[in-house]
Structure 1
Amino acid sequence: MTSPAALITAAEKTWPDLDYRDPAIPRQGMDHHVAVLGDHILRASVTDAYRAQAPTESAVLAELAPLTDTRLPLVLRHTDDWSFTLHPLIPGRALDAAHWGRLPRSERGQLTDQLASLLTALHSRDIAASPYRDVEPWFHGPAPNPAPRALPAKVDLLREQVTELDLDREDRRVIGEILAGMDDLLDRAHHAHRARLVHGDLYPAHLLWSSGHGLGAIDFSDMNLGDPAVDFAHLSDISPELPDEVLARTGLDHDPGILDRAWAYKRWDAVFLLVDHLRTGHTGAATAHSLFDAARHPTRPGAR
């Protein structure tokens, strides 16, 4: 599938009963294309890795849905090869800092509770049981998983891509420090912290808030078995206090260092988006540079 327009053309032949009269094309994912068709979301895989994990993602979401108050993008139908999937449209606006700032206190409390219920559902699953055991893990035994969708492999690929870029000395120093820190972080996460089911990309654009419908979470394509700290990495973009408040409401036995590790994952993601901007332009310049500037700080704001 080469473009969203091609997605719609192919989908019309596959599912002619859907309403294609006024499709909307939102910002596209890196591994899938998306079109909004009335009350539905149509997704098509761009990569083989995305298509291969789609059945597992669907099964996991079906298991999670009854366990959380957060609305999830369940699969309503799919093609035999999972190239196309159809989902309900989850209403709401992206939960950025500006949106959070306009919410009344009562809605902030409801939102925090629903987000905590999502992370509780994710992080408390028995990953040895089906369907969770089929989710891509960060590690196979003692060895990092080389599969492209596993975080250790993404870090290795990013390190290679950085060497090809024309960066100034200070930016290259900061990036080198962040990537070296990721090697240590992944090693500690593997040996000291039990792997859990994680969303893997829970940043503001993937959290949707509607006063009438509550919280929704979308785009589980980066779901892995790994360090739960990664799911707290971007909550501070919404509100500096939100990671602590959500953590306190999960009621899980997360270790005391989880939010410090979350900041380290946030720094890694800032490098990832900067490199994506410089290599492909998919991530906008303003977003990439502002996130990287924030990531220059080695410790999270307010850390003791």
Structure 2
Amino acid sequence: MGRVAFVAYGAAVSAQRMPAAEVPVSVELVRRLVAEQRPDLAGLAVSVLANGWDNLVCRLGERLLVRLPRRAMAAELVEHEQRWLPELAPRLPLPVPAPMFVGRPALGYPWSWSIVPYLPGHVAAEKPPVSPAAAAVALGGFLAALHTPAPPDAPPHTSRGIPLPRRAEGVAEQLARLDDRSRRVAAAGLWQAVLDVPGWPGPPQWLHGDLHPANILVHRGELSAVVDFGDLTAGDPAGDLSVAWMLFDAEHRARFRAAYGAADDHTWQRARGWALVLALVFVTFSADNPTMAGIGERTLDAVLS
């Protein structure tokens, strides 16, 4: 993957300093865990791909990655992927990093860890697909396959998949931080409009939960994989559909919506509202992350145009 691949594999969106690891993590620990629990892989080279807010991610040979949580909160998110991605992956039309092996706590390390396939490519935030039309069809089809009724024990989430009005306090704070008055007024008007849109009437749907162009990979010009399912949850599918404003212009948003096939007008309006919510988060909390700040700026322009 490209130089910003750490974003797709667990780096947080924030202007704060990266929190310290709650337990020591290192290449040597990865080597020892692999040697103890997967001795058949012990001869493969180990090197750091990313040391993000939540995970140490290492290459393991040419075709594998090791994902090692460095904080308790991240360990819970990794468990979501371990539990659900092997079940969801077979019916999804794009590759996802479903764990191939779930490691157990050992050697003083307290949490489960994963070996996942290495998915080649660059994040779409840095290298957009060559054909936006083909990417719109591919991503719309991917979400159509993912967005199916979720079981009662799907992971809950406090900020994704929820009714839009529950994001109102954060939106108000973030609107106040926009320096451009004209954008602030336009965004406030849009926000008030989407608050009047009826909520999701159906059963909770499976959601990626954190779908943006830094969690989408492009390889050889084509949209090739969707990664980082730690926020996997269930609820209103409009949250995931907000990616249409992050990645596509108006023409290709229409192609994306057609490929998805199940977004009525209310769902589409809520998706635009979610795009606004996330754009404000990315713009106001990414001072040290140019990739996410750029996504926020582009998305805010798109939803206000």
- Per the normalisation by structure 2, the TM-score is 0.70
How far apart, in 2, do the equivalents of 1:257 and 1:51 lie? 36
How far apart, in 2, do the equivalents of 1:175 and 1:27 lie? 38
Deviation by residue 1:96-115 (Cα, 9 ceiling, x = unmatched): 48532x34x8xx53x44432
How far apart, in 2, do the equivalents of 1:201 and 1:233 lie? 10
CA RMSD in angstroms, aligned pairs only: 4.1
User: Which consecutive residues of structure 1, in runs of 5 or more, have no partner in the other structure?
Assistant: 139-146
Q: 1:247 corresponds to which residue?
A: 257
Q: Where do residues 145-224 of structure 1 align in structure 2 (5 Å cutoff)?
A: 147=158, 155=167, 158=170, 170=181, 177=188, 181=192, 184=195, 188-189=198-199, 192=201, 194-211=203-220, 215-224=224-233
1:221–1:181 distance in 2 versus 1, CA, 3 Å: farther
Deviation by residue 1:126-172 (Cα, 9 ceiling, x = unmatched): 323xxxx322335xxxxxxxx47776799478469869x97758499
Count of matched residue pairs: 273
Preserved contact between residue 209 and residue 232 of structure 2 (Cα < 8 Å):
yes
Q: 1:25 corresponds to which residue?
A: 49
1:169–1:66 distance in 2 versus 1, CA, 3 Å: closer
Aligned mate of 2:300, from 285, 289, 295: 295
Aligned mate of 1:260, from 247, 269, 277: 269
1:239–1:97 distance in 2 versus 1, CA, 3 Å: farther
Deviation by residue 1:57-78 (Cα, 9 ceiling, x = unmatched): 2232112222122011010112
Q: 1:9 corresponds to which residue?
A: 28
User: Which consecutive residues of structure 2, in runs of 5 or more, have no partner in the other structure?
Assistant: 1-19, 36-40, 106-110
1:265–1:212 distance in 2 versus 1, CA, 3 Å: closer
1:232–1:166 distance in 2 versus 1, CA, 3 Å: closer
How far apart, in 2, do the equivalents of 1:178 and 1:41 lie? 45
Q: 2:16 corresponds to which residue?
A: none
Aligned mate of 2:118, from 89, 94, 113: 89
Q: 1:70 corresponds to which residue?
A: 94
Q: 2:69 corresponds to which residue?
A: 45
1:175–1:18 distance in 2 versus 1, CA, 3 Å: farther
1:121 paired to 2:121: no
CA apart distance, 1:181: 4.8
CA apart distance, 1:262: 1.9
1:214–1:31 distance in 2 versus 1, CA, 3 Å: same
CA apart distance, 1:80: 2.3
Q: Where do residues 51-66 of structure 1 align in structure 2 (5 Å cutoff)?
A: 51-66=75-90
CA apart distance, 1:90: 0.8
For residue 257 of structure 1, give the secondary structure of its aligned residue in structure 2: helix
Preserved contact between residue 4 and residue 34 of structure 1 (Cα < 8 Å):
no
How far apart, in 2, do the equivalents of 1:239 and 1:10 lie? 41
Q: Which amino acid aligns with 2:237?
A: P
Stretch deviating more after TM superposition (267-276 or 286-295): 286-295
Deviation by residue 1:195-221 (Cα, 9 ceiling, x = unmatched): 311112221221113349962110011
Aligned mate of 1:274, from 264, 283, 296: 283
Deviation by residue 1:169-208 (Cα, 9 ceiling, x = unmatched): 84995699389659937x9435x45431111222122111
Preserved contact between residue 116 and residue 250 of structure 1 (Cα < 8 Å):
yes
Preserved contact between residue 115 and residue 215 of structure 1 (Cα < 8 Å):
no
Q: 2:6 corresponds to which residue?
A: none
1:184–1:88 distance in 2 versus 1, CA, 3 Å: same
How far apart, in 2, do the equivalents of 1:260 and 1:93 lie? 30
Deviation by residue 1:33-52 (Cα, 9 ceiling, x = unmatched): 32233321221224433322
CA apart distance, 1:31: 3.2
1:150–1:176 distance in 2 versus 1, CA, 3 Å: same
Q: 2:156 corresponds to which residue?
A: 137
- Per the normalisation by structure 1, the TM-score is 0.70
How far apart, in 2, do the equivalents of 1:174 and 1:9 lie? 53
Preserved contact between residue 238 and residue 267 of structure 2 (Cα < 8 Å):
yes
